[in-house]
Amino acid sequence: MILCTTDTVPGREIEAALGLVRGSTVRAGHLGEDVNAWLKNLVGGEIHEYTKLLAQAREEALDRMLEEARARGADAIVGLRFSGCEVATGAAEFLAYGTAVKLR
């Protein structure tokens, strides 16, 4: 599956747009991660526990979007974007979305 943040696939022609595809996940850190993050926040620097959690959430959202695109018979996804928002204290949703397309 070709993934592009642009609206086209370089060197390829889009035969058909198959529609919006998306994948999302909601994640929250566990208490141990939150305590470590709070302590790290006191001294500054990267909070590795959250970096890992967010990377896993992005990958899961991406995998779910790819699954939907494959089910529609897509060759590529154009206009790929990620979005995230807090849905509750300590919990965030990550969304991957784009347009599934069939290429010539």
> What are the sequence ranges of the domains in the chain?
2-103
pLDDT of residue 37: 59
pLDDT category, 87, cuts 50, 70, 90?
A: confident
pLDDT category, 40, cuts 50, 70, 90?
A: low
Task: Give the DSSP H or E segment for 57.
Answer: helix 48-71
The answer to whether the CB of 8 falls within 8 A of the CB of 14 is yes
pLDDT category, 92, cuts 50, 70, 90?
A: confident
pLDDT digits (tens, 9 = 90+) for 22-32: 999 998 865 55
What CATH class is the domain 2-103? Answer: alpha beta
pLDDT of residue 1: 95
Nearest CA-CA partner of 76 in 25, 28, 5, 23: 5
pLDDT of residue 39: 62
Distances (CA, A) of 85 to 11, 39, 54, 98, 103: 35, 23, 12, 18, 32
Identity of the highest mean pLDDT range in 13-17, 27-31, 40-44: 13-17
The pTM assigned to this predicted structure is: 0.83
The answer to whether the CB of 102 falls within 8 A of the CB of 75 is yes
